[in-house]
Amino acid sequence: MKRPLVVAVANQKGGVGKTTTAVNLAAALAMKGFRTLLVDMDIQGSASATLGLSPVDESCVDVARVLLDERPLEDAICETHLANLSLAPAGERMAMVDLHLASAYGRERVFERALLAEGPQRLVATFDVVVIDTAPYLGLLTVNALVAADTLLVPVSCEYLPMLGLKLLGETVERLRQRAGARCEVMGYLLTMVDRRERITVEVEELLRKRFGDKVFEAVIRANTHHKAAPSHRKTIFEHEPEKGRGREDYTALCDEVIARLGLRRARRKAPVRGPKPADDAAPARALSRG
């Protein structure tokens, strides 16, 4: 099966901008015409909530059900209101998943198996990119995301000195590569909540660029209250901010850099016009009418 490129947005430190980045990078890729799937692998379900898909009721299939029942990921894929952007929402039972995974067969690869399992619609293969939002800890759920990923995007908030946490993340990834056959590498470190008037921003940026060189994205995400407000309106930054907004600018620049780093070829489809589905995309994602 054609495998979409899988990008995990990960950092076990909480509140560094993982969800904001996963949602807005996915939206930016979709707007550039890449068929994009955002997978919410966080207990908090914040990415699902931002895209207006919360709460998901018990009977609906979501990522938690996919992992608990070992179903194809396809079962949990829903269309969003944005062209080219689909979502696999987290689900309320996500909190039970870590415990379940602990005793599952091939426990680090349950998500990868779900991703690669061909459902009747062969939906996963129709995506160009899968973006995974991960949880703020290095439990089995996050390990499953890291093992399935081709590449990692690591948001680093300019609010504290991050080196110890990044060392732990780097060691975890290395261990997964050696012991679990993971192949993901860090695509880049992304500075978030950047305010260059603040000493801590200058220090974190200097430290990171010195330590990781060009692994640090040139694009940075500036501190911007619109990022706090957008999720409560269930909007991405592209819908929430006016046209020349700084948040939109920042995530567009990040998206361009991601496209260049990954060598993604520009897709045929262009948002926001909802074009016809390609012929091989015969069975569309379930349209969402929940809640």
Ligand X SMILES: Nc1ncnc2c1ncn2[C@@H]1O[C@H](COP(=O)(O)OP(=O)(O)OP(=O)(O)O)[C@@H](O)[C@H]1O
Burial per residue of 227-247, b for 16 or more beta-carbon CB atoms within 10 angstroms, e otherwise: beebbeeebbbbebbeeeeeb
Q: Is 13 in the site for Mg ion (CB under 5 A)?
A: no
DSSP string, 14-58: TTSSHHHHHHHHHHHHHHTT--EEEEEE-TT-HHHHHTT--SPPT
Q: Which does 223 bind (CB under 5 to 8 A by kind): ligand X, Mg ion, none?
A: ligand X
Q: Which stretch binds ligand X (CB under 6 A): 15-23, 50-58, 201-209, 261-269?
A: 15-23
Which residue's structure tokens are 């696999």? 88
CB atoms within 10 A of CB 275: 12
Q: Which of residues 30-69 bind Mg ion (CB under 5 A)?
A: 46
Q: Is 4 in the site for ligand X (CB under 6 A)?
A: no
Q: Which does 291 bind (CB under 5 to 8 A by kind): Mg ion, ligand X, none?
A: none
Q: Which does 236 bind (CB under 5 to 8 A by kind): ligand X, Mg ion, none?
A: none
Q: Which of residues 208-227 bind ligand X (CB under 6 A)?
A: 221, 223-224, 227
CB of 22 to Mg ion, least distance (A): 8
Cα distances from 109 to residues 93, 122, 149, 167, 237, in angstroms, run 19, 20, 11, 23, 33
Q: Which does 15 bind (CB under 5 to 8 A by kind): Mg ion, ligand X, none?
A: ligand X
Q: Is 89 in the site for ligand X (CB under 6 A)?
A: no
CB of 150 to ligand X, least distance (A): 21
Q: Which does 55 bind (CB under 5 to 8 A by kind): ligand X, Mg ion, none?
A: none
Of the candidates 7, 8, 20, 255, which one interacts with ligand X according to CB under 6 A?
Answer: 20
Q: For residue 123, what are the contacts with CB-CB under 8 A and spacing of at least 6? A: 74, 77, 283, 285
- Identity of the residue, 126 or 157, whose beta carbon is nearer to ligand X in the bound complex: 157
Of the candidates 19, 48, 50, 126, which one interacts with Mg ion according to CB under 5 A?
Answer: 19
Of the candidates 8, 10, 12, 18, which one interacts with Mg ion according to CB under 5 A?
Answer: 18
User: Which 3 state secondary structure label does DSSP give 193?
Assistant: coil
Strand order, beta sheet including 78-79: 78-79, 85-88, 36-41, 129-134, 5-9, 151-157, 185-192
Residues that bind Mg ion (CB under 5 A): 18-19, 46
